[in-house]
Amino acid sequence: MNKMKIKIFSLFAILALFASCTDLDDQVYSELLAEEYPENETQAQLITNNAYSQLQSHIDGGWWFAQEITSDLIVAPTRGSDWDDGGKWRALHTHTWDNNHEYVNNMWRNFYNGVTECNKAIEYLGDAEASKNAVAQMKVLRAYYYYLLIDNYGDVPYVTSFADAPAEPEKVSRATVFNNIIADIESVFNDLSGSSTSSVNQYTAYALLAKLYLNAEVFTGTAMWDKCEEYCDLIIAGPYSLESNRLGAFVTENQNSPENIFTVPYDEDNYQGFILHRRTLHYTNTATFNAKTTFWNGFCAQERLVELFEDADQRKAGLLLGQQYSSTGEMLVDTDAGNAPVIFTKEVPALRMDASYSSEEIRFSGARMVKFEIKSGVKDNLSNDLPIFRLADFKLMKAECELRKSGGSLASAKAEINDIRTIAGATIWDDADITLDNLLAERGREMWCEAHRRQDLIRFGKFTDSWWEKSPDTETNYLFPIPQWAIDSNANLN
């Protein structure tokens, strides 16, 4: 394996390692004293690994599902007796979840696990010179977890201590958390260093601030487009560039993509949790990719997503449509559907396809998602890194700021959008095309499958609209409810 991946060590393992390394010519120590560790930046970085490891849950732990399956572009339909799962996927699609929903529960747990690990690392690392960069990373990463919490849950407890954390913390306002985490990020700018996409650096901090300010009106009631654009400009002027292939940021070995700013460094063997290929591809597609695993024939695109793309748009290649073939060119057939040819259609006839639907409709409906490259010989887990922040997003965000702020430049917005569309092979936009509705559609083309859609729909005022198999709802569903299990253990969360 030629990828450098984060390796997760427990503090116990680190201390045990150092305790076992002795020199017979020197005094023998039975343990490494806490005040002597870390001795250098490399050791300090090891202390941060448990906090980073909480990002591993992003794809299959609930966050991705809550951002994409709740939207107008991707769906997890019930296919006969498959993919019912107690109705949890339909609840996300129809916005009828409650505070006992599996992924409502998981997100809360995973995000606060991240906060806790950051707090623990910050307190252990202390204020030694060797710890400065690592502590700064942990403060920005903690701010990222809190950004996810206020985005998904609104008012939440804000805890910045591990040793002195209250047993039953009280909720504080979303706006208060917003202001606190911005101050935290700004306080550590000068202590951040490095350029790895799998750990926090100055550009990660800029990106997080840009995202916070982009959604400031939702989070606080006050728009902050100028501040968002300020940080977008820093990123655009930074060391990043657009991939000449618009799917290049999602290939298997994408750790060196010039477009990616901050990623979750998934690995098929050592950093697992990326299994979207198994959730979307048809059983017989194992022959397409010479797979060393099985596929489950589930998730697919809604027809709306397919229709967003012009045929010449490179980004449409992220959707698998039509007759399916083996890696050697043989037409795939489904023996459990009467030897019918496996032909993916853009139409999905119903959110819940029962026995009244044909085998072909149940088993073949919907374009399948291959935006993230599926390599030949793919295993249970993908090795593609998941971009949390990448350049194209911030170019589109800058365009949005120009369209929304007073005195914004249409020409500037058009330039940023057309930079992406030109490379993609899509039709170049004229002034008349530069509208917020069209920009939302363009964000769909560019950012689909990357867990941005729910937030985008809320910011554009579209999340409560009706779409395929989903009725209009209310702004109550802009937020997920705090899990019942959390309320049961802390009455202050009511």
Residue 5 phi/psi, 5-degree rounding, is: -115, 155
**Amino acid type, 221:** G
- Give the pLDDT score at 36: 65
Q: How far apart are CA 272 and CA 384, in angstroms?
A: 10
Q: Give CA–CA dist 135/45, Å, rounded.
A: 9
pLDDT at 28 over 70: no
**What's the pLDDT at 34?**
55
Secondary structure in 3-state letters for 71-90: CCCEECCEECCECCHHHHHH
Q: Measure the CA–CA gap between 102 and 61, rounded to whole angstroms.
A: 9
SS3 state at 53: helix
Give the count of beta carbons closer than 10 Å to the beta carbon of residue 429: 17
Q: Binning pLDDT at 50, 70 and 90, where does residue 68 land?
A: very high
The pLDDT, as a whole number, for residue 22 is 35
Dihedral sign of CA atoms 52, 54, 56, 62 in order = negative
Q: What pLDDT is recorded for position 37?
A: 75
SS3 content of the chain, % helix, strand, coil (to 5): 50, 10, 45
479 has a pLDDT exceeding 50: yes
> Sign of torsion, CA 4 9 13 19?
positive
Cβ atoms of residues 487 and 99 within 8 Å: yes
Q: Is a pLDDT exceeding 60 seen at residue 16?
A: no
356-394 confidence digits (pLDDT tens): 999 999 999 999 999 999 999 999 999 999 999 999 999
Burial of 381 (C-beta count, 10 Å sphere; 0-12/13-18/19+): buried
pLDDT at residue 32 in the model: 45
| C-alpha to C-alpha distance for 444 and 213, rounded to whole angstroms | 20
Instruction: Give me the mean pLDDT over the 267-279 stretch.
Output: 98
Query: Can you give the pLDDT at residue 492?
Result: 97
- The enclosing H or E element of 305 equals helix 303-307
Asked whether the CA dihedral 160, 162, 166, 171 is positive or negative, the reply is positive
**What value does the mean pLDDT take over residues 449-453?**
98
Chain segment 188-220, per-residue pLDDT in tens: 999 999 999 999 999 999 999 999 999 999 999
Q: What rounded mean pLDDT belongs to the chain?
A: 93
Cα gap 158→177, rounded to integer Å: 7
At 20 the pLDDT is 34
pLDDT confidence of residue 480: 98
Peptide bond into 38 cis (omega under 30): yes
Tell me the average pLDDT across 150-175.
98
Q: How confident is the model at residue 13 (pLDDT cuts 50, 70, 90)?
A: very low
Q: For residue 430, give every residue at least 6 positions away whose Cβ sits within 8 Å of its Cβ, in sequence order, or none.
A: none
According to the model, what pLDDT value does residue 415 have? 98
Q: What tens digit of pLDDT does each residue of 330-360 get? A: 999 999 999 999 999 999 999 999 999 999 9
The mean per-residue pLDDT over the stretch 456-475 comes to 98
